Structure 1
Amino acid sequence: MHRARAPFALPATLVAALLAVSGCSGGGENAARTPSPTPSGLVHYTPATGSAAPAASPPPTAPKECVQTAGMSVEQLTDYLKQLRSTSGNYQSKGLTLDSSGLNFTPEDIKRPCEAVTVKLAHYWVDLKKTHEANVVSGARYEYSYALIGAASHPAGPQDGRVPDTAPPGSSACRGTISVAYLGEDIPLRSLPYDLKLVDGTAPVPVTVVGDGVLSAIYVSPPHPDSC
């Protein structure tokens, strides 16, 4: 008669040692792949080959300097516009000019107005009459008189360019024009030039008009004043 033998039992200390050697602590392969922490407690990370660092954002563009003109008085705005320089590069050239095409607004980038500025523009007829023929001693002499054609307000800027509907009327026989850009009160006839020099040509020439708010004034002669 055979008797069943009792199973052979390993000592508990030997079982624990075998488990530690074989790595059967419950972590498996994942446990073996876990990187060792650094002394500070952080895990070293090496980015994948070819990965690019995020591009730095470009610095914001600084806004161009401009001048708030909305709250200026007539005197302040007059002084500001007289000192406003042009992009032409010519010495002392102005950013707001008056010529045969009308009002032109071309200020440089700095100190330009932040908003449109309202400028008044008046046109006058200059009627000529010859009072003395030219001779070997002196040239011809003329009398001239002024008559208002019209005056209106026009916004200039903030974009560059010619202000529409500001060109002076065309001159005709014995009749020229004076155009005045100004601020504030309208220009009385007595403020127009009293020593106007008549020229044989229709190119606009600057003239002096008396007034605190006057910005610019030009004269366009009739084509042939000698025939008047």
Structure 2
Amino acid sequence: MGSVRALIPAMAVAALLSVSGCSDDKPTARATRTASPSELAHYTAAPDPATPTPSPTKTAPTECVKTSGMGVGELTDYLKELPSSSGAYQSRGLTLDSSGLNFTPEAVQRPCKAVTVKFARYWVEVEKTREETAVTPARYEYHYAPISVVSVKAGPQDGRVPDTAPPGGSDCQGSLSVVYVGEDIPQSRLPFDLELTYATAPAPVEVAGDGVLAALYVSPMSVVSC
């Protein structure tokens, strides 16, 4: 009888250990519980320190010059000093050459809207006033004959202004083209020292006047028969 009483307490202890979950063979109900949806909703993943967060990109504001309201003097200075996008030293954004009026200004200084300028063209009519002799050369004189005066718009985008190519020269006849703003230019201000012979290409010339931007002279092809 004494040996039976000693065995009963040992069996009771084993049963208690099995119920309390101390056995290493079976997981407990607490360890296998699934998180509820409400608990998942409060979870926020931490950013990966190895992946930098991109900063928001900002578009640089477009810069331009407001020319509306400028007076003749201010507009003349602006267009004369407007630098070219080529970056060449003292290159100008508004030029006149054999192809016409060209507009290629630096981006940050271009006008906000197209600028209206005037474009005047003249024939240079050449006449021989003295024949060549053994001791004196032949003498030639010229006068201007108006062709047209039109208003054209330059800009704000780059490009050549249509229908502004200077008229080509012919025998006894050259041409002068002038770009300006403001009042029309009297013929008395046009140059009277043009080179009538030996000029092989259109050349820029000076024309007096507060609003003059550029002038181009195309010489006659030949004056021998004038």
Shared fold (TM-score, shorter chain, > 0.5): yes
Residues 144-174 of structure 1: CA deviation (Å, up to 9, x unaligned): 0001100001110111111001112222211
| Partner residue in 1 for 2:120 | 122
Q: Which amino acid aligns with 1:190?
A: S
Percent of counterpart pairs with the same letter?
59
Tell me, yes or no, if structure 1 residue 77 matches structure 2 residue 72: no
CA apart distance, 1:181: 0.1
Report the equivalent of 1:192.
190
Decide which of 85, 107, 111 is 2:109's aligned counterpart: 111
Conservation of the 8 A alpha-carbon contact between 1:201 and 1:224: no
Q: Distance in 2 between matches of 1:185 and 1:128?
A: 27
1:86: which partner in 2?
84
Distance 2:196 2:209 in 1: 22
CA contact (8 A) 2:195 2:219 kept: no
Cα distance between partner residues in 2 of 1:29 and 1:47: 29
Mapped to 1, the partners of 2:87 and 2:197 lie a distance apart of: 29
CA 1:144–1:56: 2 relative to 1, 3 Å: same
Answer yes or no: is the 8 Å Cα contact 2:174–2:220 preserved in 1.
yes
Q: Distance in 1 between matches of 2:45 and 2:87?
A: 58
Which residue does 2:61 correspond to in 1? Answer: 63
Aligned partner letter, 1:78:
T
- Say whether 1:140 aligns with 2:138: yes
* 1:153 has 2:131 as partner: no
Please name the residue that 1:3 is paired with: none
Question: How much does 1:200 deviate?
Answer: 2.7
Tell me the SS of whatever aligns to 1:85.
Answer: coil
Partner of 1:206: 204
Residues 63 and 133 (structure 1), Cα distance of their counterparts in 2 relative to 1, 3 Å cut = farther
Say whether residues 1:226 and 2:224 are aligned partners.
yes
Of 191-200 and 91-100, deviating more is 191-200
How many Å separate the matches in 1 of 2:70 and 2:180?
15
TM-score (norm 1): 0.74
Aligned residue pairs: how many?
203
Closer/same/farther in 2, CA of residues 43 and 57 from structure 1, 3 Å limit: closer
Q: Secondary structure at the match of 1:198?
A: coil
Given candidates 170, 179, 182, the residue that maps to 2:180 is 182
**Alignment-derived partner of residue 164 in structure 1:** 162
Using the TM superposition, give the Cα deviation of residue 114 of structure 1 relative to its aligned residue in structure 2, in angstroms.
Answer: 1.6
Distance 1:137 1:86 in 2: 49
Amino acid at match of 2:117: V
Q: TM-score, normalised by structure 2?
A: 0.75
Q: Unaligned regions of 5+ residues in structure 2, if any?
A: 1-18, 23-28
Distance 1:58 1:223, change over 3 A: farther
For 2:196 and 2:88, the matched residues in 1 are separated by: 27
**Deviation per CA, 1:69-105, whole angstroms, max 9, x where unpaired?**
1121111110000001112333212110111111000
